[in-house]
Structures are given as structure tokens and as C-alpha cells.
Chain A
Amino acid sequence: MITMGIDMGAKNIKIVILKDNKVISKSNVLAGFDVTKAGKKAIDKALKGANIKKDDIEKTISTGTGEKLAPFFDDNKSVVGCDSLGAVFLHPATRTVIDVGAEEGRGMRCDETGKILDFEVNEKCAAGAGAFTEAMSRALEVPLEEFGPLSLKATEEIPMNAQCTVFAESEVVTMVHNKVSKANMAKAVHDAMASRISSMVRKIGFNKDVTLIGGVAKNVGFVDSLNKDLELEVIVPKDPEYVGALGAALAASGWKGGK
């Protein structure tokens, strides 16, 4: 059975195509302002990658902020539902999932089938999402890919007072003026964000194993700060930003946990 999952994220659209629950193709396209058009582009790319046609797909489920704007779909499923399903599929011992995307941060507790037990979402505040690290990396004039590794080279832990992305930018300028090293500032930024995410997760309680997904999971600096805050090691699957789309495709095939 061939199924497709579309994750219409705030910044990126991710597609995963499964054949008998094995990934045969995936694609990632910037959403831009015309998300439906970008969605079409992403789907075409994924279809080409799998060497199949649109009609070969039996069921498509879309998820994410723009789920209703996907070019086509048979059904929608909540992001937290898709995230948990995808996370448990990749790592069956998962009982807590943390998804940090470009504009949203989510924490959820699930059972062994990926069914949601409790969750908390932050979609109103840029300081709890990837927008924060992006804005800070621009303020420090460090390319985003280098931002995480740079923070691991820090020599000192400096707390950030500002809880808001806009205020944090002013604070960063002051720190630059006070000649704080970029590595130390990078660590301060990642620590600040990790502390917000871990507070959110603590509210719903967390059980091992904790899986971290979403684009920000690729940031090693953030993962390090988060691990220290939660006092454990989070599991980061390969291609963490695709887990939502993976979950959607799994839901389309009717996968309900187990093998």
C-alpha cells in the first residue's frame, strides 16, 4: 500500500511517501507565501523521487499549520497525533515527544501505540520556536548551521534575562558591546530556549524515552542545552523534521503501533 503524508509547516513543507510502511521518498520545500503552490512543488519532487504517479497513492493525510491548504488530501490529522505516531514508529520506547519547529513548540506524552495522553502547545510566541534561534543567529551574524556547534565551544554560562525574541536582540547587542564572546552568547541563546521548552514539557510531565523532533532538533547546541535541563539524553532520529509527515503517512496506512 502506498500512502503519503504532507506536513504543511509554517516555514517548510515536508512530504513522506511510504510503501508498505517503508519510506520510498521524501521532499522538503520552503512554504513561502503561496503555500498551496509550494505544496504542489513538494509533492511533484517526492513523486519523482519515488518514481511513481499521483494515482499510485492510495491515501494522503495532511497535517501542520496549513493542513487545509495542501494541494489535495483525503483527511487531516493533528500535528501532535502525527508527531507521536512517527516518533513511536522510529523509536518504540518513546513515551514523550518534543517537537520544535520554525514557529511552534510542542510537548506531548503518548503510549506505546502513539496515542496522545497529554500535550501542551506554544504557537503564539516566537521565543519558544525556531524563529528565536534564527533571529539570534542573524543578530550575531553567524550562519544558522554554525550556530549550534559554536555554542558547544562556550567557556562560560551566561543567563539571558529577556524572554522575548525582540528584547533578546537588544540584550545581544549589549552583550556584544560588553565584549562577550560569540561562543558564550550562542550558548546563552540555546540555554534560554531550552529552558523555555523544558518548562513547557515539565508542565505535562515527561517519561523516558524522550524523542526530540522538528527542524530545531538538528541544532546540536540546542540538544545539548536541553539534555542538561531535562537531566537526560533526548533521542534525535535521523531527519527529525520529517517525523510529522512520516506520522501522517503512517496514519494513512492505518498503522497503529507495534510492527
Chain B
Amino acid sequence: MLEHLVLLLQPLVGKEVNNMAKQPEYWRWTESRWTNPDIDYKGKVITSGVDVGSVSSQAVILADGELYAYSNMRTGSNSPDSAKKAMNWAMEDTGLTLKDLSYTVGTGYGRVNVPFSQRAITEIACHARGGNFMYGPTVRTILDMGGQDCKAIHCDERGKVTNFLMNDKCAAGTGRGMEVFADLLGVSINDVGNLSFDIDKEPQPVSSTCVVYAKTEATGLLREGWPKNKVLAAYCSAMAHRIMTLLERIGVEEDFAITGGISKNKGVVKRLEKEVGIKIMETSKYDPQIAGALGAALFAKALYDKGKK
């Protein structure tokens, strides 16, 4: 998988493949898994959801509708493989196997490629359900900032979608855009947020919307002597503004929560909060990237119960 990732980023930064392999991988964010220590799944109905995105994949396991385990990892070049890997990692050390799953729902970009799933449901519906579970019945606006898309969703107190808008055509405002910048500036993506605030004054945002052109613009700024942190701040600011204009289309209704990888980037989140003028809910204790898979697992439970009646 490393060669593929290296191949992927090499053209964006024009570096030699060899150099890339020796240098730290700035775009590599932290993968995670978690098991709920307070639940014994024996005797309970095990349902699951798998969200295979273009950049990351998650698997969530529920026992009688309670969150039991999850995993969050980078998607490889093969969707069915990524689905299996994510599920196996979520099940690690739990003693569970695929045979124990009563119902599995697949979602995300690769939703039709989850080989062990019974049904595929759109990521919009799953994110609303998952967000409602993670943030509670008061959440009305969920913004999911993913690897290759940005979704703005309105939902009701039960997590049912009432309005949505998704942009997956353009890299501006997505995780891939941020990865390109982290790599250009040689900054680990986990550090981008904090570094972007280590500046004297908030700079003007990068003017090019397009990631490819923004990269050229940033290279020019660096040549003019801009410190890395200032360039990061300029890009985070541009990203926050772009996401804001997308959100404006459907409006922001409190309570407002953010899921997806970029929700972990304070550099973008704090600036977005300022532009929207509404406090963003504290991230739940669970990894915010699992919202889609969690919603899928909840649908799996609902569909399983429906079938049982």
C-alpha cells in the first residue's frame, strides 16, 4: 500500500519517489480502533456498518444497538479489501468473526463494494443517523468534511434527513486538499491546526479556489518569505470560507456538529466557527470519522428488527 500512496502524492509534489520513501509521510493521519470495555456482546444481536470512502474506511459494530467496537483506517486501492480490513481491525481481539454479524449495511463511495453486506445506503442518510447518535437529539445541522467530499445535512430529532447538499466534484474544501498542503509544507497533518494559529496576524486567505492553483500560489508565498505557519493559516482560512459558502446554501440551524476527518483540524474548525457565528458542538468522545459507519450500523439494526417482525 505504501508504494501506491507514494505514487499518489509524488505527482502532486514532483519529488523523486526515493526521496518520498525516506521522508516522513506528512499526509498520514492517525488511524484508530476502539472496543467498549463495558459491553459483553454474548447473546446480543450483532449488526454492523462499513463506510468505504475514497480516503478513509471505517467499520462499526453494535451489540443490541449499543456501540461495541469501531475502526478507522486509510482506504487502499481496492474497496472490497478495505471493507474487509476495516471490519477485521474493528473485530480484533473481540473474538467476533464475520459469521457473527446478523446484518451489515455498506455506505460511502465504495458502498456497493462491501462484499459481506446485505444492503447499501447513501452516506447522507447514514451520516444523519450517526450524527444523531453521537451528538444527541438536539443536533439539527451536521457538516461532514471528508476526504474527497463535503456534506451539509439537516436532520430532525430522530436523525432523519430534512435537507442536504453534497459537493464531491471539486477538491477545494476536502481532506485531499489539506493533505496536498501538508505535504507541500512538510508539516504533519495532525499538527496543521495548532501551527496555523502560531502566527502574528491572521493573513489574507489564499485566493485560488482550485487546490492545484492554490499550491502554485502557496509556493510563490513561500518564496516571498512567508513562514510555513502563515501559509497554513491562509489555506485553512480559504478552506473555512469555502465550506461556509456551501453551508450557506441550506443554512445553519443549531445545534451544529461536525464529523469527518477535517473536524480534527482546529485550524479549519475554529475559523469556520467564527464565520458561521454559531458554536460548534464539542466533538463526541468517539472518533468523528465513524459517523457514517455508525449510522449504517444503526440502519442495519433497524432493518434487522423490521425483518424479524
Contact = CB atoms under 8 A, between A and B. Distances in A.
B12 A126 contact: no
Contacts of B177: 166
Nearest to A139: B11
Interface string A95-109: 000000001000000
Nearest to A132: B212
Contacts of A24: none
Interface in B38-87: 54-55, 77-78
A125 B8 contact: no
Contact of B11 (A167, A169, A178): A169
B71 to A, nearest CB: 21
Given A166-B180, A169-B8, A170-B176, A103 B213 contact: yes
B212 A170 contact: no
Contacts of A126: 210-213
Contact of A135 (B55, B148, B212): B212
B209 interface: yes
A223 B12 CA distance: 25
Nearest to B11: A138
A113 B20 CA distance: 53
Given A33-B220, A177-B77, A124 B7 contact: no
A125 B4 contact: no
B12 A177 contact: no
A165 interface: yes
Contacts of B88: none
B209 A124 contact: yes
A166 to B, nearest CB: 4
Interface in B155-211: 169-171, 176-177, 180, 208-211
Majority secondary structure, A binding face: helix
A177 B78 CA distance: 8
A117 interface: no
Contacts of A164: 169-171
Nearest to A126: B212
B52 to A, nearest CB: 12
A78 interface: no
B4 A173 contact: yes
B12 A135 contact: yes
A59 B148 CA distance: 50
Given A33-B223, A131-B212, A167 B8 contact: no
Given A174-B77, A177-B4, A177-B77, A135 B176 contact: no
Contacts of A163: 169-170
Nearest to B171: A166
Contacts of B11: 135-136, 138-139, 169
Interface residues of A, number: 22
A1 interface: no
Chain B interface size band reads: 20 to 34
B277 interface: no
B212 A166 contact: yes
A137 to B, nearest CB: 8
A170 B177 CA distance: 12
B10 interface: yes
Interface string A166-185: 11011001101110000000
B14 interface: yes
Contacts of B211: 126, 165-166
B210 A125 contact: yes
Nearest to B170: A164
Interface in A123-168: 124-126, 131, 135-136, 138-139, 163-167
Nearest to A177: B77
A256 to B, nearest CB: 35
B209 A176 contact: no
B10 A138 contact: yes
A255 B82 CA distance: 63
Interface in A169-219: 169-170, 173-174, 176-178
Nearest to A140: B11
Contacts of A136: 11
A177 B82 CA distance: 14
Given A166-B176, A178-B77, 4 more contacts: A135-B11, A138-B14, A163-B170, A170-B54
16 contacts: A33-B220, A33-B223, A103-B213, A126-B211, A138-B14, A139-B8, A139-B10, A163-B170, A164-B170, A166-B171, A166-B212, A167-B171, A173-B8, A173-B77, A174-B77, A177-B4
Interface of A: 33, 103, 124-126, 131, 135-136, 138-139, 163-167, 169-170, 173-174, 176-178
